[in-house]
Amino acid sequence: MTVSADLDGLVAVVTGASSGIGRHFCSVLSSNGAQVVAAARRKDRLDELVADGSAAVAQECDVTDSDDVVALIGAAKRLGGPHIVVNAAGWADDKPALETSVEHFRKTLDVDLTAIFQVSVEAAKAMPDGGSIINIASILGLVGSWPVAQAAYCAAKGGVINLTRQLGAEWASKGIRVNAIAPGWFPSELTDEMFENEKSAAWIKRNTPMGRPGRLSELDGPLLMMASPSSTFLTGQILAVDGGWTAR
């Protein structure tokens, strides 16, 4: 299935672009006409995106570093943007709550929540004519992850969801739309262990009403809807793309 939108002339920033959903989204946005600024810590992987035409600019960026975030938005401004920002950078480490240190909890919130706030704020300052900010949340911000134990990740993604609502309302009058996609179980570096483990993979299939995990291409439609002018009256919304997981 091919989904398309006209993003010609628009500049998109994608964090977490070196792998998984972020990398896939660079390709989708670029193939629909956007100039993509691909951001992540692993510069060699970003250079691959530029080489294959999935990105216009490779911007090495640690989203927890304030100076890097300012430089990232500066790179988009030099291209005439940003018009679209996709906050796809993320980190997770499965740990039961009783084994999670405060330092570990803070690190997870720093990467998965605080960084989204700063990238969004810096981008909003550079969007005088409005734009679209798309946060990659998770179904684990909507429901608990048990028996997978990751309290820090669930807390961070829950924060992303309500931050999306707040910024969507706060910036609506400026023409800046803020929405979130909450994916279910999709292949990525964060989920590799789950998919490689036979019992875990069976658990995902058993508990997903559609009976399978998602395919990255099944996120293309929600991304392009939120990124394009076709959603100019949509803001502060969370779209769970989860095969029915949260409908159970």
Catalytic amino acids? 153
Phi/psi region, residue 92 (left: phi>0; alpha: psi -120 to 50; beta: rest), is beta
Contacts of 228 (CB under 8 A, 6+ apart): 5, 6, 7, 132
CB-side neighbour CA atoms (13 Å) of 1? 8
